[in-house]
Amino acid sequence: MKILGIDTSCDDTSVAVVEDGRKIRSNIISSQVDLHQKYGGIVPELASRKHVELINYIIDEALATADTSLADLDAIAVTNRPGLIGALLVGVSAAKSLAYCYDLPLLGINHVEGHIYAPCMEHDQLTCPHICLTVSGGHTLLVEVPAGWQNYQVLGSTQDDAAGEAYDKVAKYLGLGFPGGKVIDDLAQQGQDTAVHFPRPMLNSGNYQFSYSGIKTSVRNFVEKAKQNQTLPPIEDISASFQAAAVDVLVTKTIRAAEERGVETITLTGGVAANSRLRKEMTQVATTIGAKVFYPTIRLCTDNAAMIAGLAYHKYLQGQRDELDLNASANSEIGR
Ligand code: KG4
Ligand code: ZN
């Protein structure tokens, strides 16, 4: 069964064709990073306008790469929640037009559920239940995922900033541009992670909640003070020390959740799951409790439409069909 998926939830215009939930025939991603870079963050209105300009071309490219045509598809899936409302509406409108013109079933998919699904597209051995850590620019969520890709049990989430947001803001304070995750990750690999001790908020809070605004603020305060005193350590050391603190909390809470809930499989997903330290440390610590860690290749970690088309296959089999009045929603919980 061939599904065309569309994701325009944030600043990437992505269209994919996926067969039977896992076989990725195409996964085209057009990044808008250059457009937003000079503003130091995503400008929602610019993102929507760029999606409008690109969407038809990206659909054509995804079909051509998959060597298929609209007439050959079985369904259209689209991210309709959560995300930037104007950006989401572009994808939803395109998906509705295709579904109407080609008389295809339409499925609205939750973007975060798409991220949660992504690791299974490349790992046959991945079983449910598993504990999934979803970490991106907009989300920091710890979830127990039962079989069937529904009835998720949310164990914890961030009380303020998302982990990726903290990376991006710290990069801004350090003058490293936007987005900051990969730059900090690369610099951190050449620095001393014990150079500065940054706090690990909520590490021992006794629950699975996270907080990232405190780490971010302490990096800013440290940098400002060190600059005044002319004692600023190398940027590699600040990056490594921040990354150690950020990852420490993610690993500790995820491992604790797996242990306490007796689950032996852990997945990492979302843009921050591309982080080298997070992947390495989670894998190392997991072995000490006899758990296995799975994460997608980088292209499936960050925003992409393949995860949307892949998850839609299971939702289709479960009977989901949406009407042409399908709407977009900026906020949405998973499983709804
Ligand atoms: O999933 P994603 O592409 O978009 C959202 O749904 O937010 O995630 C983007 C986030 C950004 O905050 C970016 O800085 C972060 O993922 N990111 C990373 C790395 N690569 C991307 N964070 C840490 N280390 C990385 N290597
Ligand atoms: Zn995302």
Q: Which candidate, 67, 74, 79, places its Cα nearest to that of 1?
A: 74
Atom number, ligand 1, closest to the C-alpha of residue 9: 6
Q: How far, in Å, is the centroid of ligand 2 from the Cα of 161?
A: 15
CB-based neighbours (< 5 A) of ligand 2, an ion: 136, 303
Mutate-to-test residue for ligand 1 from 32, 115, 239, 302, highest number of ligand atoms within 8 A of CB:
302
Domain residues of the chain, as ranges?
2-116+300-317, 127-295
* DSSP designation for 271: G
Atom number, ligand 1, closest to the C-alpha of residue 11: 4
Positions of the chain with pLDDT lower than 70, given as ranges: none
Give yes or no for residue 182 CB within 6 A of ligand 1. Answer: yes
Span between the terminal Cα atoms of the chain, in Å: 25
The confidence score (pLDDT) of residue 294 equals: 98
Domain pair 2-116+300-317 / 127-295, same fold? yes
Atom number, ligand 1, closest to the C-alpha of residue 168: 14
Mutate-to-test residue for ligand 1 from 182, 212, 249, highest number of ligand atoms within 8 A of CB:
182
Residue nearest to atom 14 of ligand 1 (CA): 181
Give yes or no for residue 137 CB within 6 A of ligand 1. Answer: yes
Question: Which CATH number describes the domain made up of 2-116+300-317?
Answer: 3.30.420.40
CB atoms within 10 A of CB 20: 12
Give yes or no for residue 179 CB within 6 A of ligand 1. Answer: yes
Q: How far, in Å, is the centroid of ligand 2 from the Cα of 304?
A: 8
Give yes or no for residue 83 CB within 6 A of ligand 1. Answer: no
Give yes or no for residue 322 CB within 6 A of ligand 1. Answer: no
Q: How far, in Å, is the centroid of ligand 2 from the Cα of 224?
A: 31
* CA triple 180-183-187, angle to 5 deg: 135
CB within 8 A of 61, min separation 6: which ones? 15, 26, 28
Give yes or no for residue 86 CB within 6 A of ligand 1. Answer: no
pLDDT digits (tens, 9 = 90+) for 111-139: 999 999 999 999 999 999 999 999 999 99
Question: Which CATH number describes the domain made up of 127-295?
Answer: 3.30.420.40
pLDDT digits (tens, 9 = 90+) for 213-244: 999 999 999 999 999 999 999 999 999 999 99
CA distance 173 to 310: 38
Q: Which helix (H) or strand (E) holds 17?
A: strand 12-19
The confidence score (pLDDT) of residue 33 equals: 87
Beta bridge pairs of residue 109: 79
CA distance 91 to 320: 19
Q: How far, in Å, is the centroid of ligand 1 from the Cα of 138?
A: 9
